[in-house]
Homo-oligomer: A and B are copies of this chain.
């Protein structure tokens, strides 16, 4: 009998990526095509089925070895029932995706939200490979998260477990309001958006910084590059993002005590310059017993984490 295979689908607003994984979490190959969201939910689901069958043609030995198809979706989902309640960026409302796709493909289908699936991908086939307890942070427009304990994704009572960007961590006196309405959430300082906001504030109030010389829209990379180049204003901004990340990890370490923290997303490309400052804050606030042997490492799969994690829904979630 041939090795079990799993297909992962990353359903994005403009492109659908599909990938074939083996049971060891290795991504064997990928394929992708346009989402064509404007043509409606039916067309999008037909596209998913087509791209999956282009990736693994039905009738082949490989197709027969596919045990399931996992789909990662940005939206509000009824995960156990496999229904998309609502998606902000796609034309789905109350669509029983699991049932429809199982009929189209003749394979078991599972759905889960994109942040959880990306965390699962890193844990399963990326920087968390072989680690039973790990916590993933994704530093992008917001701060996403995912927690894997005993090899299983933690979802919680209402599916909010691991929404690490909304930890209230910034000291009250320096807290600003988050998009979620609360004050002092981690993502107000440690996301790309937070870093850019702090940089714009500095430029607007006339701080002497090379950031005032940047032409066009400021990016988080501009701020990191200026900090690496010695700009003190930029250094303070990056240090603040790193400090609160490390402090939030100290709290996570006491709550769930993972073996490894995995940091991905655009901001994580700042590399060791950022990571060393995160570790410093983590060490400062974490008791020795929850810190010994705990690693803080960079994500490895980049944009493929979603595809690998979606395939992994059949093994780990």
Contacts and interface: CB of A to CB of B under 8 A. Distances in A.
A287 B289 CA distance: 30
B256 A167 contact: no
How many copies of this chain sit in the oligomeric assembly? 2
A250 B251 CA distance: 11
B254 A287 contact: no
A110 interface: no
Main SS of the interface on chain A? loop
A168 interface: yes
A156 B294 CA distance: 11
Contact of A156 (B161, B167, B250, B258): B258
A35 B235 CA distance: 59
A1 interface: no
A251 B285 CA distance: 15
A204 interface: no
Contact of A180 (B152, B287, B292): B287
Contacts of A251: 167-169, 251, 255
A153 to B, nearest CB: 11
A160 B289 contact: yes
B180 A157 contact: no
Nearest to A258: B157
Interface in A181-195: 181-185
